[in-house]
Chain A
């Protein structure tokens, strides 16, 4: 008979639940920060990011055994969150800016002699351009360039083919390069060659 699952019949169900809860709690405490960053880059505002992270983890809680069975738990949870975002359950404005009383500006560390104002303005322009991208394009960009995932893993997270990921990224970069003049680089050129 093939093994279709594992059931620890010797364990005390209450203890098992307690252990699962402890591991879930540990994951939440340790990983919410990084998930929140990803969610923020996807949703582009704090409240929606919080909601996305919370809803995703609450939804996964009864399915935590599946998460624990995954080879890479964080990737599993992140994939679920990205899919939740793309599924349209989140109807959030990509261009929302939320006033945050604690915001004191970016801590900018720039070499002397550079025009920091111009650079900040250019960054704002690029951030706005990121808001123009489709949700799938933005998700691909965040996974590829924020998490440094290879195309294959981005494809896995987005449930699509590698070629589709490259197409999404190339179109996104084509949009983003209008936000300034940039030096050539191999990575960007690789994707931009594929613009169709």
Chain B
């Protein structure tokens, strides 16, 4: 229940873009809010979340009101300074007061949903346990208890810091209301507290949302075009681009490791590896079927109807040689442009639906996968070069496919240049996949996976991308939607990812009944 309330408030919560806007514009620097160094909020308490850091970009949610737009407008250098300042301060005060109220509410909700009461009980129990005379008899258990104790302590401390921070800001608001004149310095401090506090709250929330055993790991995304030929293959290609762009925005090491080109256009399948913290946690919810509704850009023969555009798309797959030192990456990034979606609308014709499947697996280091799969459970097949084989044939056909017989789970690896290398990589992917399924089914080991459930789970449709007759991207699970389809296809997936994570969190809270 509390969880549902939390997620509701999160969606409503305004973005604190105001300060970001101000800071991003050096011309209005006289109202720049300094990061107060004495601010005791611990921001780096947990691991850094790339998503979070990007959430404060002004572009994050254009539909939400940007708080201090008037501030920026009026804070032009030409305006009279003193009069302007007081006017700004009054307006800002009202905004601030509202922000403080909202944040205060948010803090209360988070403290409630984090189960503060339960945490304190846990703390008492753990402390009692660690004080026991026989505590060190079982060293391993003692270590675990101490680690849990530290975790609980940290969490409680963080939660009480949230409260004291927001109270500080409330005090300033109260003081200002009682005083005749506004103290600009104080207001700036309160504003800064609120801004930093909201960042910390975001981070706290995400830590709560991303607590799965593999969430911290990198990710492997496999995209497969659905039935429907060229249109579906083109759609798979668009998804590939979308995820690559998202990965780059997160500053993950993003690599297209395998790509199977479609006959006419697009791709049959592709595999992306993203290295970086929490990549799997963010992306795991992308697994499922993605559906596109649009007017086909292809004619009956599967050829793109405008030749120049085809060229453009071909050209966009650029093999870039990135020197690590000079980092021409930014240069390139600036050159990237959202291009594909724009051209799809001015065409008359029938509306067409295509599908592509997305699979996500954690990128687990070999040594972390402590599982042995019995050889007899594996069906390993290699692509045949055909003919007599051996010395008679010379082909670079090295693909390996491994099926886990008991569950029917299969992986294919084609990107390596030797068969053995593909086999090793495929096996490692299979293990990761089985571990994830084990976790999803809440089984204790791979042996307990129910194969029938695995197959049924795959086809689930998770998101619709409608290009025609209107523009809308909608996640069928979280209900989150946007009409800015161009940005989504350009990798602006954060709102969807966050909405899904919160959705998942609220479901797990309500189903477990925990508070």
| A, B in one complex | no
Residues of chain B touching chain A, judged by Cβ–Cβ distance below 8 Å, are none
